[in-house]
Structure 1
């Protein structure tokens, strides 16, 4: 009986975490470049149920899960819609990067979620492009939020105040007013149609799920080599759009469904705990007294 009580309690905690994750997604539906988060649940080790079958040993009946827990939170790196803002300091990233199978030389046919499952069951994810910034401690970070601004010193800063890096890996200090310059699809700054020698550093994460969220739409590559960090090339299917911002990729309709599902599952586990509580109360106060 206590095993069922613990199983229901584990279910409640898992559904509460899923509810909090969906709530976070809904709260960031208007955040530029925000990537929705999905909670991944995993069951506790399964228990094999057996029945004694006389001298012949035991007979296998089946398996029973002993609970569930929220294992990890995974970002969904699908492309968000681009919306025009008219501000020269806003930049939107649009990418549909490809990755070739080293065995066949053909590009992987990624699905809408940016995932491809090989014949052996292994999963390959679509590479993703990011703006490259430097935090206040000098660490390199990555973001899809291109709502930048220029400070009094001419430095290009992100919405969180981080320094935006140029193609040379150094913080960008603009030599002209941003309102008088244009930025092409490769992130190069142009003045009167001519390159100024400055360029946004757009980085590509070949394995984006190796990135770690650091809050405010910023990601960290703990192991850049494992994440496959490299610079964007002219052959990559990615482009920078000045005067636009990438919106959140949160699906509000699906989020509301997930929210209600988590709530109903939480209530079901709550009812089970109440049932076990009443059963234990009856066992102790009535059956035990007899």
Structure 2
């Protein structure tokens, strides 16, 4: 009976975390390049109950009992979002055309832009809503420097520039740089940091360039933004199911509490 408290509470905590994940997805449904988090519930190992009495371990088995569930770590879904035309020359959308699967995990890799934060560390993003700062450098909305395929900041010398589908930047008809596209073979190693940024593992790191990899194909569109890949209808449905499941666990918890109250105050009552 006491174990039932922990099982129901584990279910409630799992649904609370799932609700936080879903509400964050919904809140970022209009964020360019946002990748929806996804996760699943897993059960803790079951416990085998045996009849009391006799030599320990020789009692007759009663059956298995669940010890509750937990929510696995959320992993972003790196599927392409839809394109939205903005006609702004600094808006750039990166669309994966062909990216190989990781042979160890079976999960398809992903492509990202690289940016340099103010402290000099490298971060990665799919949000191509860029702008040009006072020094002519291509930056994100938060001021992070967009890096070229060689890992250097991209500096523009004119407002009249073009970006082709491979990411080459042309000024006055001459290619001056190339927007860096980098390849994460194992997306499970990417950690969300906020503001549409990712790091490689908890200690940071760098990704290899996608250039020169014959197994990778991508397309860059100037004047477009990749939209969030959040499915609003599915997210709202999942959120409602999460709320109902939380209520069900709450009802179980109340029922067990009522039973324990009867056992303590009625069954054992004298007279």
- TM-score, length basis structure 2: 0.90
1:253 aligns with 2:254: no
CA–CA distance in 1 between the matches of 2:122 and 2:148?
A: 12
- After superposition, the C-alpha distances for 1:41-67 in whole angstroms (9 at most, x for unaligned) are 222221013347989944445432111
CA contact (8 A) 1:35 1:249 kept: yes
Deviation at 1:224, TM superposition (A): 9.5
Alignment of 1:90-101 (within 5 A): 90-99=91-100
CA contact (8 A) 1:41 1:69 kept: yes
CA–CA distance in 1 between the matches of 2:252 and 2:190?
A: 38
Partner secondary structure for residue 83 of structure 1: strand
Partner secondary structure for residue 26 of structure 1: helix
CA–CA distance in 1 between the matches of 2:202 and 2:166?
A: 26
Partner secondary structure for residue 230 of structure 1: coil
CA contact (8 A) 2:166 2:219 kept: yes
- Indicate the residue corresponding to 2:208 in structure 1: 230
CA–CA distance in 2 between the matches of 1:15 and 1:87?
A: 41
Deviation at 1:3, TM superposition (A): 0.5
- TM-score, length basis structure 1: 0.85
CA–CA distance in 2 between the matches of 1:193 and 1:170?
A: 21
1:202 aligns with 2:184: no
Q: Structure 2, unaligned stretches of length 5 or more?
A: none
CA contact (8 A) 1:41 1:72 kept: no
How many residue pairs get matched? 267
CA contact (8 A) 2:8 2:253 kept: yes
- Indicate the residue corresponding to 1:75 in structure 2: 76
- After superposition, the C-alpha distances for 1:219-246 in whole angstroms (9 at most, x for unaligned) are 0013899x88211225421111100000
Alignment of 1:149-228 (within 5 A): 149-177=131-159, 180-195=160-175, 197-222=176-201
The equivalent position to 1:288 in structure 2, one of 250, 268, 271, is: 268
Deviation at 1:167, TM superposition (A): 2.1
The answer to which of 63-72 and 138-147 deviates more is: 63-72
CA contact (8 A) 2:169 2:177 kept: yes
CA–CA distance in 2 between the matches of 1:97 and 1:138?
A: 31
Partner secondary structure for residue 208 of structure 2: strand
Partner secondary structure for residue 229 of structure 1: coil
- Indicate the residue corresponding to 1:279 in structure 2: 259
The answer to which of 41-50 and 264-273 deviates more is: 41-50
- Indicate the residue corresponding to 1:29 in structure 2: 29
Deviation at 1:74, TM superposition (A): 1.1
CA–CA distance in 2 between the matches of 1:212 and 1:202?
A: 18
Partner secondary structure for residue 263 of structure 1: helix
- Indicate the residue corresponding to 1:43 in structure 2: 43
CA–CA distance in 2 between the matches of 1:17 and 1:36?
A: 15
Where has structure 1 moved over 6 Å in runs of 4 or more? 52-56
CA–CA distance in 1 between the matches of 2:40 and 2:224?
A: 33
CA contact (8 A) 1:41 1:68 kept: yes
Deviation at 1:176, TM superposition (A): 2.0
CA–CA distance in 1 between the matches of 2:108 and 2:172?
A: 36
CA RMSD of aligned residues (A): 2.4
